[in-house]
Amino acid sequence: MTILGLIIGIGAIIIIFSVGSGAQSLILNQISGLGTNLIGVLPGSSDENGPPASVMGITVTTLTYEDAMAIAQEKNVPHVLAVAAYVSGVETATWQNQSVAANFSGTTANYPDVENAKIEKGHFFTEAEERAMERVTVLGFQTAEDLFGGTDPIGQKIKIKRESFNVIGVMEKRGTVFFQNQDDLLFIPLKTAQKLLLGINHVSYVRVKTTDSSYNKEVIENTSRVLRERHNITNPENDDFSVRDLQQAIDTLKQLTDALKFFLAAVASVSLLVGGIGIMNIMLVTVSERIREIGLRKAVGATNKRILSQFIAETLTIAFIGGFFGIFGGSLVSGLIAIIANYLDYKWAFIISPFSILLGFGVSLLIGLIFGVYPAVRASKLDPIEALRNE
């Protein structure tokens, strides 16, 4: 039971660090897959490290399509490759007797350039179609499969919220990007989505792709300047928007996931405390059961130091065994989690860091040493004559 307590505690620490590192790699892959030369503009203010209000579930309507177009102008913000604005919602898409609950994304014509997305069939809508509020749509790969099966969707008409849309394209299969499955989306012109489906004038966020990541800082500064001019803001502390690049998001997420890993490891250490108390109880029982042995050893010349080292060695052996199997079991479970995650099409890295192994062994041996000292000292101080009389 003592070894089992240590195995559970050490195994939990290994699993937590491995799963935490795997989740961190998944998050960073999701973000970095869009490229490091991408800047996000969100409505709502925030401090330097905190999330914008819009991320916290608060609806903020300060960002507009015109803001995005102003950012896209070279004279306003140099070194910008493309800009896309976004709104989103969920509606039922219907074709003949087939229907799917689809996530629609109202966006601008530059979406493929900003998102590194490619068209498999047809074409993406143009700026002219966007400005004219054309009722056209481009389907995600899975949405096209669910609605049309083997039928060519190009030129077909689907209904979204009682409005008829002409299918002009199908996206290539992309999988999950930025925690959203891109294949079950459908894309429609931004203004069409705003007016016909959502009844709003604001946008949810804007993404800006720079010509090179080395210009990110300059683009962020110029974007902030342009938005302050458009929103009549003179004091930066009163900003009603947030401009961040992906590297800032990556750094923030690293800090959050690292803090979460260590917090969960601290919770798992409770199991180690229980295991340590178990070691102390087992060794105390061992001392009681081996009193005559201890007395005999002392009678033939064993010193207190020898008795002390014997019981400490036994305690550390128990801790070592528990630590070894805890690391082995934790690594095995972490590997299974990684296999399952990758089977589900998540880019999950299997990571067992040397730090977590050293921490597991170190904590296990430290627990054994701390909780084994008292029983060992008690055994070393037994009087040999009294010990030999013990029945």
Cβ 219 vs Cβ 244: under 8 Å: no
**Per-residue pLDDT at 269:** 67
Three-class DSSP category at 36: coil
Q: What is the mean pLDDT of residues 169-179?
A: 80
- Summarised one tens digit per residue, pLDDT across range 200-239 is 999 999 999 999 888 999 999 999 999 999 999 988 888 8
Query: Does the CA dihedral 154-155-156-160 come out positive or negative?
Result: positive
Give residue limits of the domains in the chain.
Answer: 2-28+250-389, 61-239
- Summarised one tens digit per residue, pLDDT across range 72-110 is 998 999 999 999 999 999 888 999 888 888 889 999 999
Instruction: Compute the distance between CA of residue 337 and CA of residue 20 in angstroms, rounded to an integer.
Output: 11
**Residue (of 103, 104, 93) closest to 157 by Cα position:** 93
Three-class DSSP category at 140: coil
**Per-residue pLDDT at 54:** 47
- Token pair for residue 70? 């102003």
- Helical segments of 56-179, H only: 65-72, 111-115, 127-131, 141-148
Report pTM: 0.63
- Summarised one tens digit per residue, pLDDT across range 113-160 is 998 889 999 999 999 998 899 999 999 999 999 999 888 999 999 999
Q: How long, in residues, is the chain?
A: 391
Instruction: Compute the distance between CA of residue 83 and CA of residue 110 in angstroms, rounded to an integer.
Output: 6
Q: In the chain, what is the straight-line distance between the N-terminal and C-terminal CA atoms, in Å?
A: 27
Cβ 191 vs Cβ 133: under 8 Å: yes
Instruction: Compute the distance between CA of residue 340 and CA of residue 26 in angstroms, rounded to an integer.
Output: 13
pLDDT at 377 over 50: yes
Q: What angle do CA 341, 343, 347 make, to 5 degrees?
A: 55
What letter does residue 213 receive in the DSSP assignment?
G
Cβ 87 vs Cβ 193: under 8 Å: yes
Percent of the chain with pLDDT over 90: 30
**Residue (of 81, 70, 82) closest to 111 by Cα position:** 82
Cβ 82 vs Cβ 198: under 8 Å: no
The separation between CA 21 and the C-alpha centre of its own chain, rounded to angstroms, equals 9
- Token pair for residue 255? 């800090």
Partners of 43 in beta bridges:
241
